[in-house]
Structure 1
């Protein structure tokens, strides 16, 4: 009798241990920061800036200041085109992001790449991300008028068209308020300086917080 009672008590303790362990693992998983990955080019990579002044670092600080437990991962590569982003997408997804920002296309435009090719690359990127149920914010780019109206119209249509096709939020112009403003750009007139990055983050921040809020609520 005593032996049976001991075995029953031992089984109960083991079961309790399993439950507590599962609860502990669940709590740890819940406590892990949200991993937000920014897939982009030099604009997200922080070209020409000290590491603490780049886009992803400044964005992470801004999000944490608003109470978000988040790690913003810099997956920007200077000089990258949409084709480059597409080529390294699987490697980036290997970092198991909880949410993503896609900011690509500026270098396509600067090189005069056919907008049809840029559209196809971004289409594949968004298709892959959305199929994996990863919330994503698409950051758009505008073409320079020096390429002519036909090119500008085709390029500028890429981002709203794809955002609508995949049902993802769009921040229309990543460099809103910064492009063509000398005081907010480095000497090349293309890449934001520290003040420019702050302005970029201020502009995109409401879109990012909505993305994270929708993720948190399963939207």
Structure 2
């Protein structure tokens, strides 16, 4: 569970909250090697004054995210990078519920004044083309309905790239997270202000 630290409280820069599951948390990578860490370094290097907060919790489903969304909204983030659904898919949960939970999170975050961007995921081939097509369709449908920017696949340019994925085949390595941060930066670029 992400914990607000004293340094977070003293940091007056606008917040970018990276809100998701293990892909956001940086599962399996060393501390400081998650994609939100790399995103902070990228923005700092370009002179953007934002405070990137990692609100990723490994193992969470969209239901867990929905239970946490108010705490994330309470940080008054300027931008939220929303990434959930992988664990729902891996557990074979009803995808109507996944879509409904994501929709409720988007609504709640937008109501708090945050600009939301959506980062989609997909599943390994062994889950079958029908199920994969259904999960893949959730993200563009929500992006269209709520007029939010979409990164169709968070691990674009990472999945299947040697050295970018951990042996489990689900999570990015420290090297892979650098590319994920680049993907996310490109997604939020039009929203950034210097």
Give the aligned length.
Answer: 184
**Superposition deviation, residue 64 in structure 1:** 1.2
Match of 2:120 in 1: 140
Match of 2:66 in 1: 86
> Aligned to 2:86, which of 97, 106, 123?
106
Match of 1:119 in 2: 99
> Aligned to 1:62, which of 32, 39, 42?
42
> Aligned to 1:194, which of 174, 178, 191?
174
* Alpha-carbon distance in structure 2 between the residues aligned to 1:184 and 1:145: 19
Q: Indicate the structure whose relative CO is greater, using CA pairs within 8 Å and at least 6 residues apart.
A: 2
Aligned CA RMSD, in angstroms, stands at 1.6
Q: Of Structure 1 and Structure 2, which has the larger fraction of its residues in helix? A: 1
What is the TM-score normalised by the length of structure 2?
A: 0.89
Asked whether the 8 Å contact 2:18–2:82 carries over to 1, the reply is: yes
* Alpha-carbon distance in structure 2 between the residues aligned to 1:152 and 1:42: 20
Of structures 1 and 2, the larger Rg is shown by: 1
Asked whether the 8 Å contact 1:101–1:138 carries over to 2, the reply is: yes
Asked whether the 8 Å contact 2:25–2:56 carries over to 1, the reply is: yes
> Aligned to 1:48, which of 8, 11, 28?
28
Match of 1:95 in 2: 75
Asked whether the 8 Å contact 2:76–2:112 carries over to 1, the reply is: no
What is the TM-score normalised by the length of structure 1?
A: 0.79
Match of 1:128 in 2: 108
Give structure 1 stretches of 5+ with no counterpart: 1-30
Asked whether the 8 Å contact 1:45–1:76 carries over to 2, the reply is: yes
